[in-house]
Structure 1
């Protein structure tokens, strides 16, 4: 699962128990959705951030899109 925190951290969580698998600061709070897509067999996650609104009381930051490549899963042993 993917989510973000107002402090600018993007999180990857284990869907089974919520354990944080990855925490990466993207510079400012996420301001939109998270999109996953595939190009030439490689999976990516795109995250938007940056805000000029006072609603969430977070610092203003320029708009940005951060893209993460997802490593291929390890082969399963049968």
Structure 2
């Protein structure tokens, strides 16, 4: 029986500390749910960096300041994105 993947949701991960945390966690074998609000280009760049190094990543946009967006993030967006990995 294989172990379940370790999945890490990192908010505001399209740039700065969030992006660096996502990249380093992916290097350590975590599957990354890359959350961002509006920086599509930054999220895409971080996602590409993780994939190029062999990591598993799914970008999941949501404004975590909005409680309804957080509910949607967990109810649909994140699960659908991670199922593709």
Q: When the two structures are superposed, what TM-score results if normalisation uses the length of structure 2?
A: 0.22
Q: Which structure carries more strand by proportion? A: 1
- Of the two structures, which has the highest relative contact order with CA contacts closer than 8 Å and spacing of 6 or more? 2
Q: Which has the larger radius of gyration?
A: 1
Q: When the two structures are superposed, what TM-score results if normalisation uses the length of structure 1?
A: 0.23
